[in-house]
């Protein structure tokens, strides 16, 4: 077996440990790798002639991407005593780095997170490469945990309690310059000078002896005034509660731990860190978030095809038809990634506005909170605004994002397709119209597919790549590769009304209207959804997407599934009254205050009253079951129809496309936790409501056999 760590001596009194896992794109800290590190430290322990040890990566652009999450997964059911022991082993190993008889320095080039960040913070000093790829952080809260190998102890003692609290409770990474200002990094240098800089730090520390003073100081409690401690705790607690709504326990657990242990000697704080980790590790939220991690990891590697050997074409230029919200967003995401883009729109004014907005968005800088002038100047030459289809037709990939009318789209394709190069791909951003139908009349239907982005494109990671009846594997592979290139998470879905996300969204939205008509209030319905973890309630969502848009989508879904879709007249009635949602200032809520925020509107209750069938009261569980069981049952039908290739595509699609709560792990992951047998029982009282609550053959079989969606 090839060693993952190698020991060398770039200078006679300098040891160098290089991490380089064979056959892996990134270094991870598995048990075997940690064992190798322990053995090398044993070797070096007695070498008193050494001035220092430098630890670096053999993979340019990546230091250590954390612990081996697969080993975490295998240990989820471990007793608490084993979890504590696992933490203590990691703590002891990394603590050795600051107890060696010489200076230890981490030379960080690229991503350094999780266990890698804890290893680095175990060293006396850190030197970082001045590169956009270099980031440092503790993202454990995103897995429902907190750092358990000494991070909650060492970080606040090195960078200060306030800085450490922000880093650990948010899980966000920092860049090298921030690390330098914070005192986490001793130096920031070009990557090619990293080793020399690290050796320079060793020399300086040996001469000054400051590292020995810091070792003693960092072993002690942190000197902090009780008033300051109380203020930090109250402020951080309020921010965490606002962000997590109490549904993610790890950030609050980390806060409480660090407020307590900062007043202890480091040795005692390590013990408390390990004990606290045992209460989080293996919890339902931890298991769910680990599932989301694996969904994302699989998606990064997925080509969108089940067969190998298909090569994706290199998209060197893109054309976008339509400069509205969606077209502009797609063009902006493409331009941001420095791919030449040609944009057109039938409306000249809309085109001018759209071009300006997308350039500003593509050049947006978070730190500046606005467009970066240098980036704007760099991207501007890559954007062509045109009224001529001939210019759009020169692109390798053309994405249509015009009005959602089938005949209008087909008329445009008829003009455009003859101008395209034979190898070019034509795609539609349609959210409802079947791709096979849109492809009728095309000379090259194999080069046509759906590439459905979600609004707002800037923030939404999901892209549905829709395969029509004649779409080729090469077209699918190219669409998937393009979506990944611009930072999106594409999933390949089969053709059909609503595709994946909208087909599963509609039963949820439709049921909210039915609940209103059965007597539930707007507040009760929305609160049931947000208590489950949805980012907003379904009635708030109606107002966001537009009630007129919902009516159109409802017609499409009713035509496709009349036995399961209830054609409720309430929403069309509100549209007739001009209540379209946020865009008209009124929907299920009123938005006519100065800040445009949602407010209850007594007029809505009068409209709803006309369509009420009853006034009964619903329990929270009843509301939750009514909202989410139709969505789950529709997902089982989609699996039977093979609309998706894998159950994981359903869960990833709903998390990234709909905001399904990550702490639930995904719709089907949640269903596995509830159990198919119980889900069938939950559906029984709802049977009188119709076929939308009728357990499917797949769910009944799973209930009978005990099988799960995540079978392996």
Query: How confident is the model at residue 39, as a pLDDT?
Result: 96
**Tokens found for residue 419:** 């101008």
Estimate the crossing angle of helix 538-545 against helix 522-532, to 10 degrees. Answer: 100
Dihedral sign (CA 219, 225, 227, 228): negative
Contact status, residue 247 vs residue 661, Cβ threshold 8 Å: yes
Q: Render pLDDT for 39-75 as a digit per residue (tens, 0 to 9).
A: 999 999 988 799 999 999 999 989 999 999 988 888 8
Q: Identify the CATH assignment for 318-498 out of 3.40.50.300, 3.40.50.720, 3.20.20.70, 3.40.50.1220.
A: 3.40.50.720
Give the residue-averaged pLDDT of 161-189: 96
Query: How confident is the model at residue 370, as a pLDDT?
Result: 82
Contact status, residue 387 vs residue 344, Cβ threshold 8 Å: yes
What's the rounded Cα separation, in Å, for the pair 464 and 505? 14
In the chain, % of residues over pLDDT 90: 85
Q: Render pLDDT for 216-250 as a digit per residue (tens, 0 to 9).
A: 999 999 988 889 899 999 999 999 999 999 999 99
Count the residues in the chain: 712
- Which residues lie closer than 8 Å to 527 by C-beta, 6 or more apart? 537
Mean pLDDT over the full length of the chain = 94
What's the rounded Cα separation, in Å, for the pair 477 and 336? 22
Residues noted as catalytic = 452
Q: Render pLDDT for 272-324 as a digit per residue (tens, 0 to 9).
A: 999 999 999 999 999 999 999 999 999 999 999 998 999 999 999 999 999 98
Dump the DSSP string for 489-525. Answer: EEEEEE-STTTTHHHHHHHHHHHHHHHHHHT--HHHH
Using the structure block, give the residue that is written with the tokens 């007695």: 46
Using CA atoms of 68, 73, 74, 78 in order, give the dihedral in degrees to the nearest 10.
Answer: 110
Confirm whether pTM is higher than 0.75.
yes
What's the rounded Cα separation, in Å, for the pair 66 and 617? 49
Contact status, residue 619 vs residue 685, Cβ threshold 8 Å: no
Using the structure block, give the residue that is written with the tokens 């009713």: 558
What's the rounded Cα separation, in Å, for the pair 415 and 418? 7
Distance of alpha carbon 703 from the chain centroid: 31
pLDDT above 70 (res 1): no
What's the rounded Cα separation, in Å, for the pair 303 and 310? 9
Using the structure block, give the residue that is written with the tokens 């598995």: 30
Query: How confident is the model at residue 220, as a pLDDT?
Result: 96
What's the rounded Cα separation, in Å, for the pair 581 and 574? 9
Query: How confident is the model at residue 73, as a pLDDT?
Result: 83
337: closest CA among 367, 368, 357, 363?
A: 363
pLDDT above 80 (res 368): no
Q: Render pLDDT for 420-450 as a digit per residue (tens, 0 to 9).
A: 999 999 999 998 889 999 999 999 999 999 9
pLDDT above 90 (res 711): no
In the chain, % of residues over pLDDT 70: 100
Beta bridge pairs of residue 383 = 341
Contact status, residue 184 vs residue 126, Cβ threshold 8 Å: yes
**Tokens found for residue 303:** 């080509």
Query: How confident is the model at residue 155, as a pLDDT?
Result: 97
pLDDT band at 190 (very low <50, low <70, confident <90, very high): very high
Contact status, residue 49 vs residue 10, Cβ threshold 8 Å: no
What's the rounded Cα separation, in Å, for the pair 597 and 600? 10
Strand order in the sheet with 62-64: 62-64, 111-113, 135-137
pLDDT above 80 (res 712): no
Domain ranges of the chain: 5-282, 318-498, 502-642+675-705
Query: How confident is the model at residue 110, as a pLDDT?
Result: 95
**Tokens found for residue 706:** 């005990």
> How many Cα neighbours within 13 Å face the side chain of 546?
7
638: closest CA among 539, 529, 478, 491?
A: 491
Distance of alpha carbon 354 from the chain centroid: 27
Superfamily of domain covering 5-282: 2-enoyl-CoA Hydratase; Chain A, domain 1 (3.90.226.10)
Distance of alpha carbon 159 from the chain centroid: 28
494: closest CA among 528, 457, 452, 524?
A: 452
C-alpha angle 70-75-79 in degrees, rounded to nearest 5: 170
What's the rounded Cα separation, in Å, for the pair 588 and 598? 9
Contact status, residue 323 vs residue 354, Cβ threshold 8 Å: yes
- Which residues lie closer than 8 Å to 209 by C-beta, 6 or more apart? none
Q: What is the DSSP letter of 13?
A: T
Q: Render pLDDT for 666-694 as a digit per residue (tens, 0 to 9).
A: 999 999 999 999 999 999 999 999 999 99
What's the rounded Cα separation, in Å, for the pair 575 and 393? 38
What's the rounded Cα separation, in Å, for the pair 521 and 506? 19
What's the rounded Cα separation, in Å, for the pair 528 and 663? 16
Using CA atoms of 107, 111, 113, 118 in order, give the dihedral in degrees to the nearest 10.
Answer: -10
What's the rounded Cα separation, in Å, for the pair 633 and 561? 13
Segment (H or E) for 6: strand 5-11
Q: What is the DSSP letter of 696?
A: P
Whether the ω angle into residue 456 lies within 30 degrees of 0, i.e. cis, is yes
What's the rounded Cα separation, in Å, for the pair 332 and 355? 9
Dihedral sign (CA 381, 386, 392, 397): positive
Q: Render pLDDT for 20-43 as a digit per residue (tens, 0 to 9).
A: 998 888 999 999 999 999 999 999
Dump the DSSP string for 18-69. Answer: EE--TT-SS--B-HHHHHHHHHHHHHHHT-TT--EEEEEESSTTEEE--B-H
Beta bridge pairs of residue 489 = 462
Contact status, residue 343 vs residue 385, Cβ threshold 8 Å: yes
What's the rounded Cα separation, in Å, for the pair 350 and 342? 15
What's the rounded Cα separation, in Å, for the pair 493 and 500? 7
What's the rounded Cα separation, in Å, for the pair 311 and 180? 43
Q: Which CATH class name applies to 502-642+675-705? A: mainly alpha
């Amino acid at each position: 077996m090839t060693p993952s760590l190698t020991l060398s001596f770039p200078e006679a009194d300098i040891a160098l440990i290089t991490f380089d896992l064979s056959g892996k794109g990134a270094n991870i800290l598995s048990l075997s790798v940690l064992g190798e590190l322990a053995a090398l430290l044993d070797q070096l322990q007695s070498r008193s002639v050494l001035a220092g040890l430098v630890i670096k990566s053999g993979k340019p652009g990546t230091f250590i991407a954390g612990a081996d999450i697969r080993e975490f997964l295998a240990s989820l059911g471990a007793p608490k005593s084993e979890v504590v022991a696992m933490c203590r082993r990691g703590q002891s190993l990394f603590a050795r780095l600051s107890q060696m008889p010489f200076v230890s320095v981490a030379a960080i080039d690229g991503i350094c997170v999780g266990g890698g960040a804890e290893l680095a913070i175990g060293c006396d000093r850190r030197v970082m490469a001045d590169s956009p790829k270099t980031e440092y952080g503790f993202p454990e809260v995103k897995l429902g945990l907190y750092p358990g190998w000494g991070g909650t102890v060492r970080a606040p003692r090195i960078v200060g309690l306030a800085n450490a609290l922000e880093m650990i409770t948010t899980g966000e990474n920092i860049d090298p310059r921030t690390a330098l200002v914070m005192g986490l990094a001793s130096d920031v240098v070009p990557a090619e000078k990293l080793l020399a800089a690290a050796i320079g730090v060793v020399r300086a520390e040996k001469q000054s002896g400051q590292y020995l003073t810091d070792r003693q100081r960092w072993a002690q409690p942190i000197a902090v005034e009780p008033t300051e401690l109380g203020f930090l705790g109250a402020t951080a607690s309020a921010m965490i509660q606002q962000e997590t709504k109490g549904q993610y326990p790890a950030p609050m657990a980390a806060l409480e731990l660090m407020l307590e242990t900062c007043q202890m000697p480091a040795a005692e704080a390590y013990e408390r860190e390990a004990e606290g980790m045992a209460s989080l590790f293996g919890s339902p939220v931890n298991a769910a978030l680990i599932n989301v991690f694996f969904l994302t990891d699989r998606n990064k590697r997925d080509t969108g095809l089940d067969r190998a050997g298909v090569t994706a074409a290199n998209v060197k230029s893109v054309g976008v038809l339509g400069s509205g919200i969606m077209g502009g967003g797609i063009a902006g995401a493409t331009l941001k990634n420095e791919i030449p883009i040609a944009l057109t729109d039938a409306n000249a004014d809309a085109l001018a506005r759209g071009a300006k907005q997308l350039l500003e968005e593509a050049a947006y800088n978070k730190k500046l909170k606005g467009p970066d002038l240098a980036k704007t100047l760099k991207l501007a030459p890559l954007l062509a605004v045109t009224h001529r289809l001939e210019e759009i037709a020169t692109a390798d990939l053309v994405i249509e994002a015009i009005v959602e009318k089938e005949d209008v789209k087909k008329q445009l394709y008829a003009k455009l397709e003859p101008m395209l190069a034979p190898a070019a791909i034509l795609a539609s951003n349609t959210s409802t119209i079947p791709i096979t139908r849109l492809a009728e009349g095309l000379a090259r239907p194999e080069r046509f597919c759906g590439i459905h982005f979600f609004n707002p494109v800037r923030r939404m990671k999901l892209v549905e790549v829709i395969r029509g009846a004649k779409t080729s594997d090469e077209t699918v592979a190219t669409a998937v590769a393009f979506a990944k290139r611009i930072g999106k998470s594409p999933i390949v879905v089969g053709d059909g009304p609503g595709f994946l996300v909208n087909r599963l969204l509609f039963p949820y939205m439709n049921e909210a209207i039915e609940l209103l008509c059965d007597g539930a209030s707007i507040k009760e319905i929305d609160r049931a959804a947000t208590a489950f973890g949805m980012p907003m309630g379904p009635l708030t969502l109606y107002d966001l997407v537009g009630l007129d848009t919902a009516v159109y989508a409802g017609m499409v879904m009713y035509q496709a599934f009349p036995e399961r879709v209830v054609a409720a007249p309430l929403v069309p009635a509100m549209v007739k009254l001009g209540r379209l949602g946020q865009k008209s200032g009124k929907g299920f809520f009123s938005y006519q205050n100065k800040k445009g925020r949602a407010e209850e509107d007594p007029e809505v209750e009068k409209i709803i009253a006309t369509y009420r069938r009853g006034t009964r009261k619903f329990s929270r569980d009843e509301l939750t079951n009514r909202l989410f069981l139709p969505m789950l049952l529709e997902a089982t039908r989609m699996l039977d129809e093979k609309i998706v290739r894998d159950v994981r595509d359903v869960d990833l699609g709903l998390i990234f496309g709909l905001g399904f709560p990550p702490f639930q792990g995904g719709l089907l992951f949640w269903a596995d936790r509830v159990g198919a047998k119980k889900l069938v029982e939950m559906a029984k009282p709802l049977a009188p409501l119709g076929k939308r609550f009728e357990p499917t053959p797949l769910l009944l079989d799973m209930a009978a056999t005990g099988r799960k969606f995540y079978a392996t």
